Amino acid sequence: MTTTTHVPVVGDGTTARSRATSRWRRWRGPIAILSLLCVVGLLAALPEPRTSSVPLAPDSTATTGARAVAQILEGQGVEITFVRRAAAARAAVTPGSTVLLAGERNLFDQSQFDFLADVDADLVLVDASWAASVLAGVDSSWSDGSASADVAPGCDDPDAVAAGALRATGRLIASTPDTVVCFRGPDESADQGAYAVRTVDGQRIAMLADATPLTNAHLADTGNAALVLRMLGRHDHLVWYLPSPYDTGSDEGAGGPGLGDLVPPVVGVLALQLLLVVLVVAIWRGRRLGRLVTEPMPVVVPAAEATRGRGRLYRRSRSFGHAAAALRAGAASRGARRLGLPASTPAPQLIDAVALATGRRIPDVAALFYGPPPTDDSALARLARDLDDIESEVQSS
Amino acid sequence: MALTWRAAVLAALGIPAVLVVPVPGTVLLWALVVLVVCVLDAALAASPREVAVVRRVPPSVRLGEPAASDLEATNVSSRRLRGLVRDAWPPSSGAIAPRHQVDLPPGDGRRLRTTLVPTRRGDAHADRVTIRSIGPLGVAARQASIEVPARLRVLPEFASRRHLPSRLARLRELDGRAAVQVRGAGTEFDSLREYVIGDDVRSIDWRASARRSDVVVRTWRPERDRRVLVVLDTGRTSAVRVLDAPRIDASIEAALLLAALATRAGDRVELLAYDRRVRARVAGTGGPRLMPALADALATAHPELIETDWAGVVSQVRERLSQRALVVLLTALDPAVVEQGLLPVVDQLTSRHQVVLASVADPELHELSRQRGSAAEVFDAAAAERVGLERAAVAVRLRQRGVEVVEALPDDLAPRLADTYLALKAAGRL
């Protein structure tokens, strides 16, 4: 055996330079990945024209979308505010702007649009018969989807006249005398048309019974573009209100103050400071005093594992015969040993000896040790118990 | 670099500042202050790499007994070193309080003692010594882990040595040295002495009595200078756990007790640990040097998960032993394994040597065979019964070939093997 020489060890063989190098080597991979992620994230966050596929949305490029109109309007210097909630729409309206209510499929409550009557802005109601009847008193409007035909304006509204013709399927009926109804069909009455304008309390309300002229697919048809652009481009600011199916309440957000309004402003900064404290505590607690020491663990194989496996095998294959034979052989060999018989004693002799020792009848003993195998769980358990009994009797004899 | 609780307190002290000036800039500024203080403090701390460390451990310790790992740390820098030193050992070494607070002025040294109470046999290799040097403000620290190699050999417990005195007494009885009425038998002629009442009349030497006027009896003593070869099976069956300890542990205990007894009896003991190749061997050592050599060799004997090559064992035994000897096989009496491995070759051993097979029995097997609680338990009992029968059958076959089979529970194996040895010796069968 060699004796260990005790030479003092000073340092771990590293210098500040080698440590810096190894640290850089260790961290450069993660740093590269992290910076790559940052760059990708920044690129993703750049303001990029985003598109959707929501019908009548100003950012939708689908055939049912309205991005073409929106882009032309923006090119003409009209600022578009796209909103999906009533509260946001109310907040977005500025005096002297245009408000477009596009579609009413997602309107469930009158409060979702009746505020429009009070705003200081021109209204354009497209495919919104409920809003039209409430706000402008137009009796009914429908869009039957029948084959559309080009119709002449047939009125003196400047927008309609400028458009010259309209290709749309929707119809509305306006019974009030001060409503200007345009684009009447060939066999329709005077108060029936596709487009109507009415001024209520100084608020100009333009109604289009059908949203088709706005869509990307049909904007270029005949006079659709002219009518729509004149209708929406009256003012520099357009609020594009497309009701959302998720707008549950009429005054959500606008009603009670949110959590952010209730807590004092210092809380946010305090949370930031607490984050710093948590970070420092994490570094304090997280730094280990040296690495974890590992060692190989011994194998754990319980000795009885194989035996239990064998028992399960018996059970699964329902080998009552095998199990009973094992129990009987075990009891017989112990009994023979107790009675001083050699292990090779023939069965009749063993039965005689056991019967003599226990006082039982020979056929009973024979049936117990050499009878037919049991056929079910309870018979096997009974056999085991009986063998135990006779064994204890032999032991005490 | 590492931080202390003071750094956390310093960070928390920013909370009042934030309450006074509640803008995010305050937080940023405070974070900067904490950072600067920590970096500065760490920079002012003594270098943990300028510490001369010597680790001293005893070469070996018995399992379960305490050993001391001494670290001598000397501060060779020009700054005062305050901080923590960790003397890292593997978990099974049972290091008690391996972290030490130190405060060393420049040039000063200290001895740091860590008590080890090993819980596993074998070689324990010390891990790194970690030094954390805390700065003058006690806010931040520098840390380095230094490789200081050390090895502690954990020897087998040899708990069975408590059985040694009683077996030695029996040995002396055999030897005829103790004054007892019943003399031990022996096969080697020792001397002639005068008849005293109580002596066996059959041992009277009539020819010698005729030459003298007294009645003279012959005395015998057990054989001496016999060879005992202990073969420790380190194959896969030795890894099996019986009562929460691997089978090999009980076998090692038995080997140590037998060796201690046989050396005292004047026999020459050799050891071979084998599975498919020689894992340990002790030969040609006698007297007081034998037991330490055995303990050292057995300390690193670990079960290998491979099948034992019994033909290899036989050739090893042949190579080692030229004359008749006692060959003790410390293995498992596993019916399938014995039938495949040992039985075909055992004749080659028994033809020349006295062979004893010592095996650790599993108490769980007996418990399993007695349970009757449910149908599943009865099936388990039947399986245990069957295993027991097969085991008995294979033991019978081994006995028929002249092998003494000793099967005992882990704690009983060592004394039972010693008793078998004494019985063989008394019968003159060595």
Q: Which two tokens stand for residue A34?
A: 């992290």
The number of CA neighbours under 13 Å toward the Cβ of B180 is 14
- Beta pairing, strands A97-102 & A121-126: parallel
Pick the CATH number of B1-155 from 2.30.40.10, 2.60.40.3080, 2.60.40.680, 2.60.40.10: 2.60.40.10
**Which residues in chain A are closer than 8 Å to B2, comparing Cβ atoms?**
283-284, 287, 289
A224, A326: one domain: no
**Which residues in chain A are closer than 8 Å to B128, comparing Cβ atoms?**
12, 290-291
A vs B, Cβ pairs < 8 A, gives 227
Test B18 with A308 for CB contact under 8 angstroms.
Answer: no
All residues at 6 or more sequence positions from A83 whose CB lies less than 8 Å from its CB, including other chains: A89, A92, A239, A240, A241, A242
Test B365 with A304 for CB contact under 8 angstroms.
Answer: yes
Same fold, B1-155 and B224-426: no
Determine whether A198 is exposed, middle or buried from the number of CB atoms within 10 Å of its CB (0-12, 13-18, 19+).
buried
- Beta pairing, strands A203-208 & A121-126: parallel
Test A308 with B368 for CB contact under 8 angstroms.
Answer: yes
**Which residues in chain A are closer than 8 Å to B132, comparing Cβ atoms?**
289
Q: How far apart are CA B162 and CA B254, in angstroms?
A: 12
The pLDDT tens digits of the residues spanning A123-134 come to 888 888 888 888
Low-confidence residues of chain A: pLDDT under 50: 1-3, 250-254
Question: How many other C-beta atoms lie within 10 A of the C-beta of residue B200?
Answer: 11
The DSSP annotation for A221-281 comes to STTHHHHHHHHHTTSSEEEEE---TT---TTTTTSS--HHHHS-THHHHHHHHHHHHHHHH
Q: How far apart are CA A164 and CA B220, in angstroms?
A: 142
Test A289 with B84 for CB contact under 8 angstroms.
Answer: yes
Mean pLDDT, residues B162-186: 69
Q: What is the pLDDT of residue A179?
A: 83
Domain end among A208, A223, A241:
A241
Residue B306 distance to chain A (closest CA, Å): 13
Q: How far apart are CA B258 and CA B249, in angstroms?
A: 14
A86, A166: one domain: yes
The DSSP annotation for B5-71 comes to HHHHHHHHTHHHHHHHS-SHHHHHHHHHHHHHHHHHHHHHSPPTTSEEEEEE--SEEETTS-EEEEE
**Which residues in chain A are closer than 8 Å to B56, comparing Cβ atoms?**
6
Which of A284, A291, A376 is the best residue to mutate to test the B interface, defined by the most B CB atoms within 10 Å of its own CB? A284
Chain B, nearest residue to A19 by Cα: B144
Instruction: Name the band, by pLDDT with cuts 50, 70 and 90, for residue B189.
Output: low
All residues at 6 or more sequence positions from B354 whose CB lies less than 8 Å from its CB, including other chains: B324, B325, B326, B327, B404, B424, B429, B430
Test A276 with B34 for CB contact under 8 angstroms.
Answer: yes
Nearest CB partner across the interface for B240, out of A270, A303, A310: A303
Residue A362 distance to chain B (closest CA, Å): 25
The ipTM of this complex is 0.76
Nearest CB partner across the interface for A270, out of B15, B247, B303: B15
Q: What is the CATH number of domain B224-426?
A: 3.40.50.410
All residues at 6 or more sequence positions from A286 whose CB lies less than 8 Å from its CB, including other chains: none
Residue B369 distance to chain A (closest CA, Å): 9
Determine whether A38 is exposed, middle or buried from the number of CB atoms within 10 Å of its CB (0-12, 13-18, 19+).
exposed
Q: Nearest Cα to B380, choosing from A374, A312, A321, A383?
A: A312
Q: Is residue A60 included in any domain, yes or no? A: no
Q: What is the pLDDT of residue A131?
A: 81
Mean pLDDT, residues B192-214: 83
Domain end among A241, A272, A293:
A241
Question: How many other C-beta atoms lie within 10 A of the C-beta of residue A262?
Answer: 9
Test A273 with B389 for CB contact under 8 angstroms.
Answer: no
Nearest CB partner across the interface for A299, out of B26, B53, B239: B239
Would you call A376 helix, strand, or coil by DSSP? coil
Q: Could you give the C-alpha distances from A319 to A8, A314, A376, B369, in angstroms and in order?
A: 70, 5, 9, 17
Q: Nearest Cα to B250, choosing from B261, B259, B239?
A: B239
A368, A227: one domain: no
Exposure class string for B355-370: b at 16+ Cβ within 10 A, else e: bbbbbbbbebbeebbe
Q: How far apart are CA A30 and CA B428, in angstroms?
A: 76
Test A10 with B50 for CB contact under 8 angstroms.
Answer: yes
Question: How many other C-beta atoms lie within 10 A of the C-beta of residue B101?
Answer: 9
Which of A1, A2, A5, A10 is the best residue to mutate to test the B interface, defined by the most B CB atoms within 10 Å of its own CB? A10
Q: Nearest Cα to A149, choosing from A206, A210, A102?
A: A210
Q: Which two tokens stand for residue B118?
A: 């090993």
The DSSP annotation for B125-148 comes to E--PEEEEEEPTTSSEEEEEEE--
Nearest CB partner across the interface for A326, out of B14, B143, B386: B386
Q: Is residue A128 included in any domain, yes or no? A: yes
For residue B245, the cross-strand partners are B242
Q: Is residue A11 included in any domain, yes or no? A: no
Chain A, nearest residue to B23 by Cα: A269
Determine whether B150 is exposed, middle or buried from the number of CB atoms within 10 Å of its CB (0-12, 13-18, 19+).
buried
* Domain spans, chain B: 1-155, 224-426
**Which residues in chain B are closer than 8 Å to A272, comparing Cβ atoms?**
18, 24, 27
* pTM of the full structure: 0.70
Q: Could you give the C-alpha distances from B74 to B12, B49, B103, in angstroms and in order?
A: 36, 11, 11
Q: Which two tokens stand for residue A107?
A: 């309107």
A227, A138: one domain: yes
Test A280 with B88 for CB contact under 8 angstroms.
Answer: no
Kindly report which listed range (A69-78, B113-122, B154-163, B190-199) carries the lowest average pLDDT score: B190-199
Amino acid identity for residue A331 in this structure:
A
Q: What is the pLDDT of residue B34?
A: 94
Domain that holds residue A355: 313-396
The most distant pair of C-alpha atoms in chain B lies apart, rounded to whole Å, by 124
Test A9 with B382 for CB contact under 8 angstroms.
Answer: no
Which of B385, B389, B391, B399 is the best residue to mutate to test the A interface, defined by the most A CB atoms within 10 Å of its own CB? B385
Domain end among A190, A212, A241:
A241
Cβ atoms A176, A133 nearer than 8 A: no
Test B3 with A277 for CB contact under 8 angstroms.
Answer: no
Q: What is the pLDDT of residue A223?
A: 83
Q: What is the pLDDT of residue A253?
A: 46
Q: Which helix (H) or strand (E) holds B75?
A: strand B67-75
**Which residues in chain B are closer than 8 Å to A298, comparing Cβ atoms?**
120, 239, 246, 302-303
Q: Which helix (H) or strand (E) holds A150?
A: strand A149-151
Q: How far apart are CA B374 and CA B358, in angstroms?
A: 35
Residue A251 distance to chain B (closest CA, Å): 32
Test A276 with B240 for CB contact under 8 angstroms.
Answer: no
Test B240 with A9 for CB contact under 8 angstroms.
Answer: no
Q: Which helix (H) or strand (E) holds A125?
A: strand A121-126
Residue B242 distance to chain A (closest CA, Å): 6
All residues at 6 or more sequence positions from A142 whose CB lies less than 8 Å from its CB, including other chains: A129, A170, A171, A172, A209
Test B383 with A307 for CB contact under 8 angstroms.
Answer: yes
**Which residues in chain A are closer than 8 Å to B91, comparing Cβ atoms?**
293, 295
Q: Which two tokens stand for residue A335?
A: 């009994």
Per the structure, the count of domains in chain A is 2
Q: How far apart are CA B171 and CA B261, in angstroms?
A: 8
Cβ atoms A255, A143 nearer than 8 A: no
Q: Which two tokens stand for residue B280?
A: 């340990």
With tokens 């226990």, the residue in question is A358
DSSP summary character for residue B387: H
Start-to-end Cα distance in chain B: 68
Distance of CA B230 to the CA centre of its chain: 16
CATH code of the domain covering residue A195: 3.40.50
DSSP summary character for residue A373: P
The number of CA neighbours under 13 Å toward the Cβ of B199 is 18
**Which residues in chain B are closer than 8 Å to A10, comparing Cβ atoms?**
49-53, 76
Q: What is the pLDDT of residue A145?
A: 55
Q: Is residue A318 included in any domain, yes or no? A: yes
Test A289 with B132 for CB contact under 8 angstroms.
Answer: yes
Would you call A50 helix, strand, or coil by DSSP? coil
Torsion angle of C-alpha atoms B43, B45, B50, B51, degrees rounded to 10: -160
**Which residues in chain A are closer than 8 Å to B112, comparing Cβ atoms?**
none
The pLDDT tens digits of the residues spanning B352-389 come to 999 999 999 988 888 998 888 888 899 999 999 999 99
